[in-house]
Structure 1
Amino acid sequence: MKKFLLLLLSCFLYYNSLAQTDEVFDSNRSVRFGFKFGMNYSNMNFNKGYPPPMVPVEASWQPGFLLGFSLEVPLPYNFSLQQEYLYAQFNGENRNLSTHYKHSYLSLPLLLKYRIIPKVILMAGPQFDLLIAAEEESNGQTTNSTHGTEERSIGITGGLGFQAWKQISLNARFTHGFNHIGLTQRAAAQEFKYEILQLTADFSF
């Protein structure tokens, strides 16, 4: 992860040195609305819970989907601010207990974007997630765990976007959760932090 962040920073400094400070790649920018969909690959990191488990839990990255809308407001000097309103599935597994989790969220990322070259965009910002529904599956039985699951998730997200066509972009982001999310199972409290890789296609107009 540190190498990935250093690579992003190096790209930013390199391309920024090539451009004039007041250069704007698109002089006709305006407020843009968008629709997006894609995939989440999430890991519920129980080893970062409090207290940590006595036996470390092996990472298990699980797929889920997302879809929703975005609103992008242009700012000076190739910057813009983008608010997203998403329905997102963050799934996971505790391999020590052979238990699978399916969580649905209203996801609200707020991103500061910078166009480092005409087709490449760097983005970062906070992400707020509100739980809609939760299920857990163990020993072939599925139970509703919505009321026993912490309803808020807060994280920081960052990544890159590539403007494939005028109205279509492809994006890759990584989100790291800040807060501990509590679960109650078999009268024993468990906590974890989210780690999420997100791949999306965005359509703007």
Structure 2
Amino acid sequence: MKNLFLALTLASGSFAFAQEKSSKSSVAVGLKSGLNISTVSSSASKSKAGFYGGFFVNFSISSSISIQPEVLYNGLGAKKAADTDLKSNLDYISVPVMFQYRVIPQLFLEAGPQFSFLVNAKYNFPSSVNAKDVVKTFDFGLGLGTGYYFTHNFGLTARYFAGITNIIEEGAPVNTSKGRNNVFQIGLVYKFK
């Protein structure tokens, strides 16, 4: 909970800074949402579809470089490989901080860290195991992606996020002792400026 509070404080501080600096530099605020295809790295799982959505602030440092902190709801998880009806549903508040390079004004490449905080964990199959006792509350990883703006305001983005930290609690009563979130995202973005 402390980590979530810290991340939200940092994000709100960034947004306040953006409002203060908007008259001196190029700052854009926007919304984004789309489809997650996620899995937990384990031989016993396969991908499942989910939703992501949230907001961002884009700070242009130069004509080709910008930094974009975001606050997103991320619906992640996985299906059990042997049975598509068995799923784990993991809901996170994620705070990616992406460093973007504009190849041309409409097209950008991006990379950066992502800090995620578990808000809900559920298994949709009968079990005596509480999902919140199995999954750690903090996740860290790196994202790599691209995006293209069709107009000044509307664009399409794609990103791959690779988890670095093990999300499974030590001593958890599950078939695997290690697992990392991995997700491919594709979605739409709208900039207000």
Structure-2 separation of matches of 1:153 and 1:186:
20
**Contact 1:125/1:158 (<8 A) preserved:** yes
Residue 64 of structure 1 corresponds to 50
Q: How far off is 1:134 after superposition?
A: 0.3
Residue 24 of structure 1 corresponds to none
Q: Which moved more, 1:185-194 or 1:104-113?
A: 185-194
For residues 6-57 of structure 1, what are the alpha-carbon distances to aligned partners after superposition, in whole Å with 9 as ceiling and x for unaligned?
Answer: xxxxxxxxxxxxxxxxxxxxxx9711100111111001112xxxxxxxxx42
Residue 158, structure 1, aligned to residue 144, structure 2: yes
Q: How far off is 1:72 after superposition?
A: 0.7
Q: How far off is 1:146 after superposition?
A: 2.1
TM-score by length of 1: 0.74
Report the aligned-residue RMSD.
Answer: 2.4
Residue 90 of structure 1 corresponds to 76
- Which of these residues, 121, 126, 129, is aligned with residue 113 of structure 2? 126
Structure-1 separation of matches of 2:128 and 2:186:
28
Closer, same or farther: CA 165–77 of 1 in aligned 2, 3 Å: closer
- Unpaired segments ≥5 residues, structure 1: 1-27, 47-55
Q: Percent identity?
A: 25
Q: How far off is 1:151 after superposition?
A: 0.8
Amino acid at match of 2:67: L
Structure-2 separation of matches of 1:64 and 1:174:
14
Residue 200 of structure 1 corresponds to 187
Residue 175 of structure 1 corresponds to 161
**Contact 1:135/1:142 (<8 A) preserved:** no
- Unpaired segments ≥5 residues, structure 2: 1-23
Q: How many residues align?
A: 167
